[in-house]
Amino acid sequence: MTELPFSRPTDYEHFVTCEAPGEGCWFVFKGDQLLVEMGPLEAPSDDLRVRARPAWARLPLRKNHNWLGATALRTLYLGRLGAAHLWAAEVSPEADVPGGLAWAGLRSLFSVLDDSHFALAGRALQLIDWDRSHQFCGRCGSPTVSKSEERVRVCPACKLSAYPRVAPAVMALVRRENQLLLARSPHFPAGMYSALAGFVEPGESLEQCLAREVHEEVGVQISNTRYFASQSWPFPHSLMIAFVCDYESGELRPQPSEIEAANWFDVLQLPKLPSKISIARRLIDAVVVEMRGSK
Ligand SMILES: [Zn+2]
């Protein structure tokens, strides 16, 4: 399997402070929109949430590490990619688009922006969101301060530390003979189905979470759980951990509030699936290849 989108680039080094600021690549966000130079929206998209992708896109490169000046609400140093310095910033919702640049959602830049920059944009988006959400102490309400040696915001009054958070979630692709169990949430684009997924609760293992989620969402029992792969997922800050498992028992009974529809699909007649940006699609594709090969 090729590297999953949002995987850390091999030549990326994480630093919190910049010793000698120089020319750098900038990840500037306004909400969840990234500032890029980009071509016309004419490339086809495999993502039902994205109508078309730009023909090309690249990050702004700037010699001055303070080029946004007072327009930045926050600026974070991300480290280096090879020799290039990387900076992330957030600007206010009213900020104008600098000349020659445009705002674009991250999903629309998948397979368009350089893979390393795309992955680091996912990291930048999460860190900007974390920094914005931890300006005040969650325990006593005092303003927090950042540290120069590690990525953390600390409360000077009560010493509580707030690190960037990651929410683990499991994904289950359930097999039964030549069929896959796929479901759709009410939030999905029309016609799209995917594997089941849910967040890990405090006090449970991944395997327990998997069994609970599948049973809660569609009422069936699973067995023979096999790990597939994991993916950082920056919408907003998850780690998706994907498994394949076998159907054991039970009738399909979708949970009304979570699942709009769930069905067993023949591996040769699958519905619309998620984009290749997500581990869900990689998981389904890999299992389909395996099942078709064994028929
Ligand atoms: Zn505090």
What percentage of the chain has pLDDT greater than the value 90? 89
The pair phi, psi for residue 63, each rounded to 5°, is -75, -30
Per-residue model confidence as pLDDT tens digits over 197-229 = 999 999 999 999 999 999 999 999 999 999 999
Per-residue model confidence as pLDDT tens digits over 240-282 = 999 999 999 999 999 999 999 999 999 999 999 999 999 999 9
Q: pTM of the full predicted structure? A: 0.95
Mean of the pLDDT values across residues 68-85? Answer: 92
Q: Is the peptide bond before 236 cis (omega within 30 degrees of 0)?
A: yes
Sheet holding 161-162, edge to edge: 145-146, 153-154, 161-162
Whole-number pLDDT of residue 97 = 87
Whole-number pLDDT of residue 112 = 97
pLDDT of 151 > 60? The answer is: yes
Whole-number pLDDT of residue 3 = 87
Q: Report the alpha-carbon distance of residue 192 to residue 271 in Å, rounded.
A: 7
pLDDT of 30 > 80? The answer is: yes
Q: Give strand pairing partners of 85.
A: 24, 80
Encoding tokens for residue 168?
A: 């683990």
Measured in Å, residue 143 CA sits from the centre of ligand 1 at 8
Vertex 118 angle, CA 42 and 85, to 5° = 125
Residue 12: HSE in the Cβ half-sphere, 13 Å Cα cutoff: 22
Measured in Å, residue 129 CA sits from the centre of ligand 1 at 20
3-class SS of residue 244: strand
Measured in Å, residue 136 CA sits from the centre of ligand 1 at 8
Measured in Å, residue 161 CA sits from the centre of ligand 1 at 9
Taking each continuous run of H as one helix and of E as one strand, the counts in the chain are: 3, 19
Whole-number pLDDT of residue 295 = 57
3-class SS of residue 290: helix
